[in-house]
């Protein structure tokens, strides 16, 4: 079996790469990382900070989504009342590319040092996201300019469990709309 896998690995990669859309973005929750592709060519990758899955109702959704709209600049307003542990003051970000109907987006997060992005950052008090995906300012601007409305965005657990288990953790449909009771 190993010999067959080795022998056909390049054919499988070529066949898979040919099936990729013109542009797409993949995000791993476990790796806290984003990869942007044009066809099969990697054109950008960077550490990110996402929302915490499974804690409260503000984790980054999992599933096949797409860029729904983009805004520059954008003001986020807390849906939680002042005094809530989840409340945050009105926050203006410069570069937003939304991928869910509930307001999750790739965006700059000037309050979070670029060196703090990556694994574990989603648990850092005061830096974690309420579902969005934080990028450095230059990468957020790049994403805003590069991403087309309708472009696929896939956010997956990346936790090493079976494909079936990771698929069972999806929280949105392919239009970025949360499943009933999900995410």
Specify if 181 maps to a domain: no
What total number of domains does the chain contain? Answer: 1
Please check whether residue 66 lies inside any domain of the structure. Answer: yes
The predicted structure's pLDDT at residue 1: 45
The answer to the question of residue 42 being in a domain is yes
Tell whether 140 is covered by a domain. Answer: yes
Indicate whether 145 belongs to any domain. Answer: yes
pTM, entire model:
0.84
For the beta carbon of residue 118, count every other beta carbon within 10 angstroms. 15
For residue 102, being part of any structural domain is answered with yes
Please give the pLDDT value at position 17.
Answer: 55
Q: Which domain holds residue 90?
A: 22-168
Q: Is residue 61 part of a domain?
A: yes
| Dihedral sign from CA coordinates of 113, 115, 121, 125 | negative
Tens of each residue's pLDDT in the chain, 183 residues:
444 444 544 554 455 556 678 999 999 999 999 999 999 899 999 999 998 866 555 789 999 999 999 999 999 998 889 998 878 899 999 999 999 988 999 999 999 999 999 998 888 877 778 889 999 999 999 999 999 999 999 999 998 989 888 888 888 888 888 886 443
Q: What is the pLDDT of residue 62?
A: 92
Q: Is 122 domain-assigned?
A: yes
Q: Measuring CA to CA, how many Å separate 181 from each of 29, 85, 101, 167, 177?
A: 20, 22, 15, 16, 11
């Amino acid at each position: 079996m190993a010999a067959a896998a080795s022998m056909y690995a390049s054919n499988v990669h070529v066949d898979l790469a040919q099936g990729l859309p013109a542009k797409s973005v993949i995000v791993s929750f476990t790796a806290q990382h984003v990869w942007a592709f044009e066809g099969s060519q990697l054109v950008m990758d960077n550490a990110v900070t996402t929302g915490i899955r499974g804690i409260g109702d503000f984790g980054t959704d999992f599933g096949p989504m797409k860029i729904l709209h983009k805004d520059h600049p954008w003001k986020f307003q807390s849906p939680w009342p002042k005094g809530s542990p989840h409340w945050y003051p009105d926050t203006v970000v410069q570069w937003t590319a939304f991928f869910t109907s509930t307001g999750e987006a790739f965006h700059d997060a000037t309050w979070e040092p670029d060196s703090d992005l990556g694994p574990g950052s989603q648990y850092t008090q005061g830096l974690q996201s309420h579902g969005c995906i934080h990028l450095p300012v230059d990468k957020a601007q790049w994403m805003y300019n590069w991403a087309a409305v309708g472009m696929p965005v896939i956010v997956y657990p990346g936790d090493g469990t079976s494909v079936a288990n990771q698929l069972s953790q999806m929280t949105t449909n392919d239009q970025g709309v949360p499943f009933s009771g999900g995410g």
